[in-house]
Amino acid sequence: MDISAPKSHPLIGQKCGIAVKAPDLRIIGGREAKRGSWPWQVAILNKHREPFCGGTLLTKSWILTAAHCVRRKLLIRIGEHDLMSDEGTEQESRVIDSFIHPDYDADTVNNDIALLKVKHPFFLNNFVQPACLPSSTDELEIDTRAIILGWGKRKDTAFFGTDHLHQAEVPIVSPEDCRENYEDYHISDNMMCAGFKQGRVDSCAGDSGGPLLYQKNGKWTIYGITSFGEGCGQKGKYGIYAKVAKFVRWIKKTIG
């Protein structure tokens, strides 16, 4: 394998990272996504059927999300766009098993990654498709523009999230710049930062667990998992994401 040109990796030979409805590429400062353009995005619902986190479909039965999103009783909904409307494309399945990374630290939020397995595999169609995984050596270069998704708050002062799935484009930030702006936090090598120095465009509460994506060789690949930040879109405070490449071996071993 030529590690100088890492490729996006599907699981178990499946196709991945292809949206039948191409996203409009012209979250805070973001815009409403085109319905069906992010078919791997899932909404994670609590026992009261309230959406509170996001996630990414990797196979028909497995979802990648943040460790801090894991609860005892969870429901996964995919093919979703408007949370308040039954659009006929949604599928739901109950989580029967969850795997939090063994090195997850709730205090430092290091290794904030988890896998969820659903009881009934999802049916793949135009609105339900898996995203690709990067290789374990594949990391995005500084200033690369990536996409973040979610139904989270549009601004820090909002009480509720947005009903419609939103997307935003954010640049990857160097670890040095990120650490300089987060002196009270330990930004580990298993984390990555993205956002604008002036703020405004960012992930926010309710976006947690959702993906940071980049189109690699024509396939949408998940490079980050929305983890935490200080406020939402605050000046000099970037979004922090679990760096997926660091966990690819664990993901594949867990899924089997």
CATH of the domain at 46: 2.40.10.10
Tell me how far apart the alpha carbons of residues 6 and 207 are, in angstroms, rounded to a whole number: 28
Q: Give the DSSP letter of residue 120.
A: S
When pLDDT is averaged across residues 98-124 and rounded to a whole number, the result is: 98
Please tell me the total number of residues recorded for the chain in this structure. Answer: 256
Phi-psi category of residue 140: left, alpha or beta, with phi > 0 → left and psi -120 to 50 → alpha: beta
Count of C-beta atoms within a 10 Å radius of residue 131: 25
pTM strictly above 0.75: yes
Whose tokens are 């979004």? That residue is 239
* pLDDT tens, residue by residue, 232-256: 555 666 889 999 999 999 999 999 8
Enumerate helices (H) and strands (E) in the chain, giving the number of each.
2, 13
Q: Of 9, 37, 68, 207, which is the active-site residue? A: 68
Catalytic residue among 37, 136, 208, 227: 208
Catalytic (active site) residue 208: yes
* One domain, residues 222 and 185: yes
113 and 43 share one domain: yes
Least confident range from 25-34, 45-54, 99-108, 214-223: namely 25-34
Task: Give the closest residue to 197 by CA, choosing from 227, 228, 231, 171.
Answer: 171
Residue 14 inside a domain? The answer is no
What residue numbers bound the domain in which 50 lies? 39-130+248-255
For residue 11, the model assigns a pLDDT of: 61
The answer on 87 and 151 residing in a single domain is no
Q: What is the chain's mean pLDDT, rounded? A: 86
Active-site position among 81, 112, 138, 203: 112
Q: Would 86 be classed as within a structural domain? A: yes
**Is pLDDT larger for residue 5 or for residue 50?**
50
CB 186 within 8 A of CB 213: no
- DSSP lists the bridge partners of residue 150 as 166
- Tokens 């703020």, located at residue: 199
The answer to whether residue 135 scores a pLDDT higher than 70 is: yes
Span 84-113, average pLDDT = 96
Q: How many domains is the chain built from?
A: 2
- 188 in catalytic set: no
Query: What is the enclosing helix (H) or strand (E) of 117?
Result: strand 114-118
Q: CA 179 to CA 93: how far, in whole Å?
A: 39
Mean pLDDT of 98-107: 98
* CB 100, CB 65: distance < 8 Å: no
Residue 85 lies in a domain: yes
| One domain for residues 151 and 225 | yes
- Other C-beta atoms within 10 Å of 50: how many? 12
The reply to whether 13 falls in a domain is no
